[in-house]
Amino acid sequence: MRSWVGLGLVLLLGISTLWAAGSPFDPLKERLVRDGFSPKEVEALFSDPRVRFLPEIMPRKLTWDETKLPYRQFLRPERLRRARAFLRDWGPFLSEVERDYGVEKEILVALLLVESDLGHHQGRYGVFNVLASMAASSHWERVRPYLPREIPPKEEARLQEIMRRRARWAYRELRIFLEISRKYGLDPLALRGSIFGAFGYPQFVPSSFRDYAVDGDGDGRVDLYTLTDALASAANYLRGHGWRPGLSPEEKKRVLMTYNHSEPYAETILEIAERLKGVDQKDELARTSSP
């Protein structure tokens, strides 16, 4: 009997500790209300059963090394064949985008191939859950259990500073994401994207959507899960960051690295585009020389 009483006390203490700690989202909810979101709106959002705190997201962000990702996979023959077919099938629309924005169509196809496999992969994470979890992970104690056991003090201090910057960034992006959802009548809990909160075929973060997403097909709405809007929006982003006809390869690489701060990423985009252009030139030569 005494053992059951003891177990009951332990359970009650555990539950009371959880209640005292509260939800990791509580400070975030209060901050959103202070920043102008209605308490009713915030409470309805965070009480939805689809909302989940993902404690592993911030540690992944802290240890992520973009330079080590296998970008060379996008140069495999089967990937390039699909990219050539896409370039052919979407040729008229891509030529319009190239004319309007000054970005080569091969660059746009290469970018979409890397970002979402030409629209086939949208991501498997809820965008809201990712951004909210990162924004709520500004306390080292929440993040530390998911990092390597042994971290030198100097490295720990560096990671803590990065964590605070990432949390501030995520909160700004979360606010923009909620404003976009409200403006376009979207369900913020339905959109899926990358592990770091990018979404749509061109993998825009919310601030990029706000600043560069455009209606590519003239249907009166902006939807980055359509190829027309995705391609035009990617072109608009690149133009907005300095892309123009006549750039040198090095200048193109610098613009692409504003899209993704990774040199291997930018170099892969450029190499895919060059291979697509090379095939087009050979095909054109074969057509013009045939009897």
Q: What are residue 193's DSSP bridge partners?
A: 125, 199
Does 257 map to a domain?
yes
| Confidence (pLDDT) at 1 | 42
Question: CA-CA distance, 64 to 180, in Å (whole number)?
Answer: 27
Which is more confidently placed, 63 or 12?
63
Q: What is the mean pLDDT of the chain?
A: 88
Does 8 map to a domain?
no
Does 68 map to a domain?
yes
Does 38 map to a domain?
yes
Check pLDDT > 50 for residue 173: yes
Does 16 map to a domain?
no
What integer is the mean pLDDT of 126-150?
Answer: 89
What integer is the mean pLDDT of 256-277?
Answer: 96
Taking the chain, what is the end-to-end CA distance rounded to the nearest angstrom?
A: 98
The secondary structure of 222-247 as a DSSP string is --TTSHHHHHHHHHHHHHHTT--TT-
Tally of CA atoms within 13 A in the half-sphere of 280 that contains its CB = 16
Q: What are residue 204's DSSP bridge partners?
A: 199
What integer is the mean pLDDT of 45-63?
Answer: 91
Main-chain dihedrals φ then ψ at residue 130, nearest 5 degrees:
-65, -55
| Confidence (pLDDT) at 23 | 83
| Confidence (pLDDT) at 6 | 42
Give the three-class secondary structure for 204: strand
Are 74 and 270 in contact by the 8 Å Cβ rule? The answer is no
What's the total number of domains in the chain? 1
Q: Model confidence over 222-238: pLDDT tens digits?
A: 999 999 999 999 999 99
Count other C-beta atoms under 10 Å from residue 153's C-beta.
7
The boundaries of the domain holding residue 135 are 21-289
Structure tokens that stand for 126 in this block:
């809820």
Does 258 map to a domain?
yes
What integer is the mean pLDDT of 57-81?
Answer: 87
Count other C-beta atoms under 10 Å from residue 274's C-beta.
14
Does 34 map to a domain?
yes
| Confidence (pLDDT) at 234 | 98
Does 69 map to a domain?
yes
